[in-house]
A and B are shown apart, each in its own frame.
Chain A
Amino acid sequence: MDWILVTEQLLNGLQFGLMLFLLAAGLTLVFGIMDMINLAHGSLYMVGAYLAAAVLAAGGGFVAAVVAAMLGTALLGMLLEWSLLRRLYQRDHLSQVLATFALILILNEGVRMVWGEQPLMLNTPAALSGPVELLPGLLYPSYRLLIIGVGLAVALGLWLGVTRTRIGMWVRAGASNRPMAMALGVDTRRLFTLVFGLGAALCALAGSLLGPLLAVQVGMGESILILAFVVIVIGGIGSIRGALVGSLLVGLVDTASRTLLPMLLRQLATPEVASNVGPALASMLIYLLMAAVLFWKPQGLFPARSG
């Protein structure tokens, strides 16, 4: 086992985890404050990526594309909250799941009507399209480094925002005990529209940053949404700290299991068996991790709500 591979995989896990965090942060606050399950969260991620691709194709720069995607998606998110989701808070989770699942289908169809079925082109800016040599022999894609940087900055910003500002205090109050927060005069409705917009903007940030690495295509939000849910279940619903720790855990475990597990199996079994069992086991490992966490900490690692 060489150290270059291990270091590279650690960075990969960190990068993947931070991107998951951008999705999970909004999801966990929405779930935590309003007790609302929003399956369409991943669709906002898709919308963000498409908006970024559209702005870039129209001749805007990369930074402009990301900013425009965040603003546009935040607007869309707040519009959805104000027009539709608001009506679902008092309903049970099943109605919320049904309604937001319908929203997934509608948004997928909408994106398809606007941009077509074929994947869009969204590439890394030329300056960031190659690797950099971090240490002798250790090459790492510069674009992924940018993602790590942005992810860390956003995590820090969110942490400061939630722990050091008045709005952050309201958010924490709303997440840990909503009736009490309302009784103390926190306007949870307006707070929630704000949180929803912020969550949508974070989705768009993840979508537009990952777009140049992945295929920008209809339905791209669904597969990553499942992982975001795993993250908030592991981290504890409503907790930003939980979302960060959960994301990094899932990111690292996912990346490590995909490379280390097949290698390990190849030492123990024939290549034939290893190539069959390895990938299957690797894709299960995250769910095993979730099951293990829930076994010892049924509320997740850092539950926001104690009762």
Chain B
Amino acid sequence: MRKTILCAALALLAATPLMAADKVKVGLLTTLSGAGAGLGVDIRDGFLLGLKHSGGKLGGVPIELVTADDQQNPEVAKQTAERLLKRDKVDLMTGIVFSNVMLAVGPTVFDAKVPYISANAGPSQYAGEQCNPYFFNVAWQNDNLHEAVGKTVLEKGFKKLVVLAPNYPAGKDAITGFKRFYKGPNAVIADEIYTKLGQLDYAAELAQARAAKPDAMYIFLPGGMGISFIKQFVGAGLSKDITLFGPGFSADEDVIRAVGDPMLGMFNSSHWAHDMDNTANRKFVADFKAEYGRLPSLYASQGYDAARLMDGAVKDVKGKVEDKAALLKALKAARFDSVRGDFRFNNNQYPIQDYYLRVITKNTANQVTNRTLYKIFSQHADAYAASCKMK
């Protein structure tokens, strides 16, 4: 008798994968503690809002969300990812903020053949030769925002620059991207400063920048690093002579909320802005404000889009997430309304999209926030896609 029940149970277990899934399991692994927690929380909140907009389901299938904290630590992230893949058996993964964490987790996820939808980290490695059919990026390739600023700084006629970035993969990508478009006889990079990741006091770097006497400065400093830097930049009086440029996330709502007035006048580039005028974005921004009581940041918009992309893809495969080939194809087709307007994947599964210039000003309600000025790039792709062998 016992044997029969066991056999029946085993048969049932074995039969499960053949039926359409009764639920989709999603692993949301992101930074929820430590210095980078604000970024992970915005991705998570955006993602949760995306789920809410599809009725707590993905493509009509109920979802089970497993949330985990990577502590911004590649080692912890790798172990947690293994737990999500082996014990929780997730069907899809998303959430990682930092490129060094993504590079540590990637191989584990790809080996398990689980599609990963990056809501932020876009390392150049996975865009080029190490591109992978299981890696999708719904944000941007690490260089893109910096390329857009490089082009702008050159066009605005700034001739002498100091650039500053943390010494880690995305920092190097950033400066590479910036220099790809800021070059020519009228472009001089007077100083290139690399700092420790997570550094908060920039007195030494600011003194160095002052000594170089540039007319503009470009910074790539995510999260608290950017908050600290901008406060000190203004306190040192450098904002009077030096125009400050940064990528969108160094000048987004999360940073503005912590810095306030000293941020006025900073130029930055983004593929998304809360004032972009399209139906999906208006709904997203209004609902985010209502739900969480703050303006969404670019991270939140990316988390939201990751959920919408998953929803579209699961709908396309009619809930059969076990059919990996079909699921990958559906993800790549990206049939969803992005809050940033036009969006499609390149052959390396990184976005081809528009990039805009924004400036931080006071709005009509006297709040400090971003205003979109104009489009820098139309349908811009990254520089690594050519070396990716995927078609």
Contacts and interface: CB of A to CB of B under 8 A. Distances in A.
Interface of A is mostly: helix
Given A15-B203, A213-B228, A214-B200, A118 B294 contact: yes
Interface of A: 2, 4-5, 8-9, 12, 15-16, 108, 112, 117-121, 123-124, 129-131, 139-141, 143-144, 212-220, 222-223, 255-256, 258-259, 262, 271, 275-276, 278-280, 282-283
Given A131-B236, A141-B232, A117 B205 contact: no
Given A219-B33, A259-B204, A279-B167, 18 more contacts: A2-B211, A4-B211, A5-B208, A5-B210, A9-B207, A12-B204, A15-B203, A16-B203, A117-B38, A118-B258, A130-B235, A131-B237, A139-B236, A215-B223, A220-B200, A255-B203, A275-B194, A279-B196
7 contacts: A5-B210, A8-B207, A131-B237, A141-B236, A144-B203, A215-B35, A219-B34
Contacts of B210: 5, 8, 139
* Interface size class of chain B, counting residues whose CB lies under 8 Å from the partner chain: 35 or more
Nearest to A219: B34
A121 B259 contact: yes
B319 to A, nearest CB: 34
A256 B207 CA distance: 11
B133 interface: no
A279 B258 contact: no
A123 B262 CA distance: 9
A259 B205 contact: yes
Given A15-B203, A118-B294, A255-B204, A217 B231 contact: no
B41 interface: yes
Contacts of A108: 33
B193 interface: yes
B231 A218 contact: no
B115 to A, nearest CB: 28
Interface in B204-228: 204-205, 207-208, 210-211, 223-225, 227-228
Given A108-B33, A117-B38, A220-B200, A213 B235 contact: yes
Interface string B247-279: 000000010011111100000000000000000
B196 A283 contact: yes
Contacts of A129: 234-235, 262
B231 A124 contact: yes
B37 A279 contact: no
B224 A12 contact: no
A212 B232 CA distance: 9
Given A108-B33, A218-B34, A121 B200 contact: no
